[in-house]
Amino acid sequence: MSYTPDQEEVMTYLESKLTQGEYYMIRAPKGDMEEQGRLMEARLGKPWAMIQYHEAMENTFFTNLIRAFIVNSLAIGFLCWIMMQMTDLTMKNAIITSIMVGLIGYLTINYIDGVWFQIGTIPDLIDAIVPWAATGAWLGFWVKK
């Protein structure tokens, strides 16, 4: 994400024009696919934007931390179950299986979003490989048949 020195001016303008939600600029009113096609064709080669606008910033750090911990614990539990189904679990198999799980998530969510919305996904790719490889190494020691 980038910084602009005009952020206060942009935020003031957005605050006066938008309600909370996600906006894809340029878009026709709902249901008018013909108009959407014309707008898309007219905008080819011109700037476009995606905006995720929130009416109030909230400090949800602790809640988000708890939710992330729960979701990550579930994911590790699922991965443990997958690995316990393997008849010949080796360290190599544990690491490769873990990386594959991370890559499935990356390819089907982050990468596809990157393709459609032209956003960078390299940090997400790193997040799909490094922690999952470390998890696989840990589980390679921990999961015993």
Listed residue (88, 107, 97) closest to 138, CA to CA:
97
- Per-domain residue ranges for the chain? 7-53, 61-142
What backbone phi and psi angles, to 5 degrees, belong to 137? -65, -45
Cβ-based neighbours of 101, under 8 Å, separated by 6 or more:
75, 79, 82, 132
Per the prediction, the chain carries an average pLDDT of 92
Reported as a pLDDT band with limits 50, 70 and 90, residue 144 is low
Reported as a pLDDT band with limits 50, 70 and 90, residue 104 is very high
Residue 8 is predicted with a pLDDT of 96
Residue 7 is predicted with a pLDDT of 95
Q: Is the pLDDT of residue 127 over 90?
A: yes
Reported as a pLDDT band with limits 50, 70 and 90, residue 30 is confident
For residue range 63-103, list pLDDT tens digits in order. 999 999 999 999 999 999 999 999 889 999 999 999 999 99
Q: Mean pLDDT over residues 96-124, rounded?
A: 95
Q: Mean pLDDT over residues 38-49, rounded?
A: 89
Q: Is the pLDDT of residue 145 over 70?
A: no
Q: Mean pLDDT over residues 17-27, rounded?
A: 90
Q: Is the pLDDT of residue 31 over 80?
A: no
Radius of gyration of the chain (CA): 21
